[in-house]
Amino acid sequence: MTQIANQRALSARDLIVRSPELFRGLPKKLRGLYRVAQQRKNPVNNLASCFELVASKFPDNIAVMFEGQSLSYSDFNRKANQIAHYLEGTGTVKGDTIVVMMENRVELLLCVVALAKLGAIAALINTSQRGNVLEHSIRLVSPKRIIVGEELFDACMAVESALPDGD
């Protein structure tokens, strides 16, 4: 028993000899601890809250431009809120997984931000998937709902058996 206790004890000499090991990387560790402490003070550090903060500070600035279409932060935020309210009305709640499958466009970003506002998880599915691969991807994430662009509607209907039961 005393032998085990002696092996765990460190002498002042051991501390001095090992101090370079102990202090190596200390500044990096302290910065990490500081960041964690700051995040605990300000837990509002997610996509939805960051977007709303920027929208409140710069409402008239352009948030997104795509193929000749542009939206200001206030317009984008308003549209994302509309989508979030709709999804909430259909029963989407925090923690739900929702598949989002549409080609790149403004509506894709709106859906992702809307889901973030609800605390739901946006599972983005590769738009080139078809058949068994698409079915596997949908089953893998077990979504409560699927948001699909009209250009991919036929691909989703072809794997209808993998779609969640409608609400």
Question: Per-residue confidence of the chain (167 residues) as pLDDT tens digits?
Answer: 444 444 566 677 776 676 666 667 777 777 877 777 766 655 556 888 888 889 999 999 999 999 988 999 999 999 999 999 999 999 999 999 999 999 999 999 999 999 999 999 999 999 999 999 999 999 999 999 999 999 999 999 999 876 767 55
| 92-104: burial string, b at 16+ Cβ within 10 Å, e else | beeebbbbbbbee
| Residue 11 shares a structural domain with residue 78 | no
How many independent structural domains does the chain possess? 2
Q: Please report whether residue 82 resides in a domain.
A: yes
| Residue 60 shares a structural domain with residue 29 | no
| Residue 21 shares a structural domain with residue 85 | no
Q: What is the pLDDT of residue 2?
A: 45
Q: What is the pLDDT of residue 22?
A: 62
Token pair for 113: 């931000």
| Residue 80 shares a structural domain with residue 126 | yes
Q: Which domain holds residue 98?
A: 47-162
Token pair for 112: 């992702």
| Residue 29 shares a structural domain with residue 104 | no
| Residue 35 shares a structural domain with residue 52 | no
Residue type for 125, please?
Answer: I
